[in-house]
Structure 1
Amino acid sequence: MARRNTPTPWEDYGFFGPDSVAWKVWGYPTAPVTGLQRAVVVEELDPPLIAAVDATGDNYNRPRTRYDRTIRYFAMVAFADSRTVSKAADVLVKVHSKAIGVEPLSGKTYDANDPHSQLWILLTGWHSVLKAYETYGPGKLSEEEENRYWEECAIAAELQTCDPADVPRTRDGVRAYFERMRPHLAASEAAQNMMHHLLNAQVILPSAHWSLRPALWAIAKVIRAGTIATMPHWMRRLGGLRQSRLTDVLVRPLLRLSYGVLHRVRTLKLAVLRAISPSTVPIVEPMWRGIAPANPVVLTPTEARERYGYDEPRRAHLALRARQRERVFGHGESPSDEGLVESQQVLGSLA
């Protein structure tokens, strides 16, 4: 009989598995903290994305829930089985179908399912997690490992509406992508406010006894400094983020030591993850505990879609997406919440 605290094994290894570089990088404790904090902060520099995020107000109204669902989704892509991830990718298209509107700076329409927006989200996520791993974890990957990492990123792209062919496969290619994006990025007042808000790690932590609040405040300050230290200076200037070079230098050994301890002490690592993203714990715990799936195989997203009957994300739910566009752009109404209720079973509660 299985022990009560033994996590339920996955059906299979999903799309990567224990031999992948994705497991090595995304499985390190830098990923859910500095890595994804950096990702959601940098994302706000894209005008269509901040317009969609600012319109909902969710990052202000329920930051803990929003962050929990974000971490859970990325963790599912890396570690969950093929059935679970395929369902998550499908329902995410429905959720994003309501994130449409008019971007106030340019007056152009935006759509969260737009392939260019999805590529930006994908690459800022995978790049930020790698950057955090290199800076505060074991260090840089070998050239071969990094090329494999970006090949695996292209596999993850098959779970979004972007084209996997657009994913760079090398460090230089990723650097060139961000240089191409740079002229299109901007930091409005809304973007800068959101970036500062998301850099406050206290907004994603549960309430604590008053005696612990000074310690949590200090931890949040260190995490904020560590995240800013991984950002190039041009991004900091756009976001209005000021931090001295001395702080950049001092925070590195402190976070390297802290993450190193977390990596070695599994119970502590799980406790930290449970504090910042409780719904993600059952996603990663089988991997952290070395529990093999029922069927230890790795599938491709195409194989999984054929097996479970899902459409390719860029072609999924076209009728729903058309209805949402008609509501918003044709009738001036708010988009429906179709997909959000369903998403709670897969991505976590909205409450």
Structure 2
Amino acid sequence: MTARLSAPARGLKAYVRHEVNVSVHGTEGLRLRERYADPPGDPGLFGPDSVTWRVHSDSPGMLMGGFASLMLQSLHPLAMAGVDQHSDFRTDPLTRLNRTAAYVVTTTYGSRQVAEAAVAYVRDRVHPHIHGTAPDGRPYSAGDPHLLTWVHVAEVRCFLAGYERFGAPPLTASERDRYFREVAVPARLLGARDVPESASEVAQYLRDMQPELQATEAAIEGIHFIRNFGTNPRERAAVRVVMNGAAALLPGWARDPLRLGRSDAVRLLLDRPLAQAAGRTLRWAMQPSEIVGMAYARMGRTPPAPHSDWRVHAEASNF
């Protein structure tokens, strides 16, 4: 039996839930019920028995994994040039976060028609307008299959690392491979090519990509901006805790060029306990997720019980 919360605890939970939902999903994100509740029996791109539904339902892992993916993606100079020259993240960072979260949640939990429409909108209406010349003189395009694969792999690698690092039951090797195989489907619909579909293929892909990666001035400046974002000291402190937790998900070869290197002692004695506390609060406040609940109900199923414990694993998946 679940213990009944006191009035102050209920108020705190409602406050945290509202603040996170507005920041991540925006004021409209949870109003579009039809994305997730209908039609009955439609599994979308994945379905309730998928590893993707399990991984993407974990609030702390997705939030910290999402920020980690932005940092990892920024290491590709052409991908970062597109963000730097076409995104309004400096003037309106929450809107970009809302768009990214909406895309991930919609393609994960929406009906097939809704998920495919979200992919088509980005592929056919957003990406054709994002192109230009990077500071090093090379042309770039958001529709470039090579860049699309990089952005995809960086994202899902970090989502999985966040899920496994911050307390969720670790996946088996076959489940990790199944996750990468599942999430390759929307990536290919978006235009990515040669998408790795197993943990070993992802690891090899990241090794192969390292010669192309570089921490440009735009990447370092962008991450510095996000790490210091907030309208008041409380918000800035919360963002810093989340960003430090996210940075810990990156492989060492990615942290140092982005100037995210922190000593092992600081990561162990400060960053990890603070990320642990933030994750506990997030999971307590955010689960059960209304969106996830609607998706399972669409399939006539009940969502699995939220993880009740919080164990920070010694290392994230090694990719």
Q: TM-score, normalised by structure 1?
A: 0.70
CA deviation profile, 1:55-108 (whole Å, cap 9, x unmatched): 124111211101110111011111111111111111112211111111221x22
Aligned with 1:238: secondary structure? Answer: coil
Query: 1:224 is matched with which residue: 227, 243, 252?
Result: 243
User: Residues 29 and 200 (structure 1 numbering): CA distance in 2 closer, same or farther, change over 3 Å?
Assistant: farther
- Amino acid in structure 2 at the alignment position of 1:269: M
- Amino acid in structure 2 at the alignment position of 1:176: Q
The answer on 1:135 being equivalent to 2:165 is: yes
Query: 1:43 is matched with which residue: 56, 73, 79?
Result: 73
CA deviation profile, 1:228-251 (whole Å, cap 9, x unmatched): 111122211211223221222133
Task: List gaps (5 residues or longer) in structure 1.
Answer: 208-212, 272-283, 297-351
Q: Give the drift of 1:112.
A: 0.4
User: Which gives a bigger RCO, structure 1 or 2 (Cα 8 Å, sep 6+)?
Assistant: 1
Partner of 1:162: 192
The answer on 1:269 being equivalent to 2:286 is: yes
Partner of 2:309: none
CA deviation profile, 1:87-141 (whole Å, cap 9, x unmatched): 1111112211111111221x22111000011001111111111111111131431
Distance 1:54 1:122 in 2: 18
Distance 1:21 1:294 in 2: 16
User: Residues 174 and 236 (structure 1 numbering): CA distance in 2 closer, same or farther, change over 3 Å?
Assistant: same
Decide whether the 8 Å contact of 1:150 with 1:167 is kept in 2: no
Aligned length: 265
The sequence identity of aligned pairs, in percent, is 29
Counterparts of 1:75-154 in structure 2, within 5 Å, are 75-93=105-123, 94-105=125-136, 107-154=137-184
Partner of 1:29: 59
Query: 1:293 is matched with which residue: 278, 295, 298?
Result: 298
Decide whether the 8 Å contact of 1:134 with 1:141 is kept in 2: yes
Partner of 2:276: 256
Q: Give the drift of 1:201.
A: 5.4
Aligned with 1:74: secondary structure? Answer: helix
Decide whether the 8 Å contact of 1:146 with 1:171 is kept in 2: yes
Q: Give the drift of 1:289.
A: 5.5
- Amino acid in structure 2 at the alignment position of 1:65: T
The answer on 1:243 being equivalent to 2:262 is: yes
Aligned with 1:110: secondary structure? Answer: strand
Distance 2:228 2:52 in 1: 27
The answer on 1:198 being equivalent to 2:226 is: yes
Decide whether the 8 Å contact of 2:109 with 2:295 is kept in 1: no
Aligned with 2:219: secondary structure? Answer: helix
Distance 1:43 1:290 in 2: 29
Aligned with 2:45: secondary structure? Answer: coil
Decide whether the 8 Å contact of 1:37 with 1:199 is kept in 2: no
Q: TM-score, normalised by structure 2?
A: 0.76
Task: List gaps (5 residues or longer) in structure 2.
Answer: 1-30, 302-319
Query: 1:183 is matched with which residue: 211, 227, 240?
Result: 211
User: Residues 240 and 254 (structure 1 numbering): CA distance in 2 closer, same or farther, change over 3 Å?
Assistant: closer
